[in-house]
Amino acid sequence: MLKRFRKAAVSAGGSGAQPVSGTEVNGELGHRLRAPSKLHAFNRYEIKYLVDAAQAAELREEIEQRLDRDRHSGDTGYGIWSVYYDTRQLRFYWEKIEGLKFRRKLRVRHYGDRFAVDAATPVFVEIKQRVNRVTQKRRVRLPYADALKLCDGRQLVERDPSEQAFLEEVLDLVVRLDLRAVAMTGYQRHAYVGRDADVGLRVTFDHRVRGRDRDFHLGADATNRLIVPARKAIVEVKANDRVPYWLTDLTAKRNLQVVRVSKYCQSVEAHGLAPRSIFHIPDHDLDLDHDLGRDRPGILSEA
């Protein structure tokens, strides 16, 4: 089925070239995966669930008895906006769909009010990669103008020497794979962090998951569309070593089912950039979201 999807995606693009898998690009075999640097690096396991909004609210009430609110969440949560980069053949998208054990993606991410984004706004340039079952995220904080210079302008920016190797890796990816902005996602997040024996545990609830396939400036006053039904929330459990028993018991009691969902892939498919895969969340009840309400103000520095 996936092979059929891939052929359809090529014909739709009109390029005539076969899309690449995670094992070959421009004659180069495999990835040049690097060990995560100590600076701004996260290694963890991630488990995702798709739940009804009402059930998510009940689950949050139970979670709050065990975990602390993230210091940025407040009562309304905070906005997260990401621009994803990919090849013309959507290499990173297909790596996710095909479930490769070694895969990655590049994005520029902003936390907070997107309407306040300007050239000086701090954003994160991130490489998120999957190595077997472990998710690794490496990132560096840059002014938005420098992030655009690096990822769109394909020019190296000067930073602290401890961050320079990562910036060179990003530039190498962008130039060697000819990456360009492909899709954008945005959502409102409520986050909780572990304490005592649960230090390192993080549980997030993402609502109003939206996206677009053009006007990629983070501060653009552009129209987004819902890419996950408004009555659904994506719940993620993130743990360094193991998920505590009380949390696995809680998800079992509520009969939550683990899902394979990627907000980036959901946005790609929702906008017709690739045929809908078997992992696509049905999009009935979706509608345009004009972002008439403003997200929580402020620049947030942690996921």
pLDDT tens profile 168-182: 999 999 999 999 999
Local confidence band at 283 (pLDDT 50, 70, 90 cut-offs): low
Percent of the chain residues past pLDDT 90, beyond the cut: 66
Instruction: Name residue 81's beta-bridge partners.
Output: 110, 186
**CATH architecture, range 41-289:** Alpha-Beta Barrel (3.20)
Structure-token match 């994005």, residue found = 107
pLDDT value at residue 41:
67
Arithmetic mean of pLDDT, 59-70: 94
Cα–Cα distance between 160 and 166 in angstroms, integer?
11
Arithmetic mean of pLDDT, 271-299: 63
pLDDT value at residue 6:
40
- Higher-pLDDT residue of 29, 193: 193
pLDDT tens profile 108-153: 999 999 999 999 999 999 999 988 888 899 999 999 999 999 999 9
Cα–Cα distance between 13 and 90 in angstroms, integer?
11
pLDDT tens profile 5-39: 343 333 333 333 333 333 333 434 333 333 344 35
Rounded (10°) CA dihedral 272, 5, 107, 266: 60
- Using an 8 Å Cβ cutoff, are 45 and 137 in contact? no
**Of 59, 138, 131, nearest in space to 303 by CA:** 138
- Using an 8 Å Cβ cutoff, are 133 and 45 in contact? yes
* Phi/psi at 215 (5° precision): 50, 65
Arithmetic mean of pLDDT, 49-75: 93
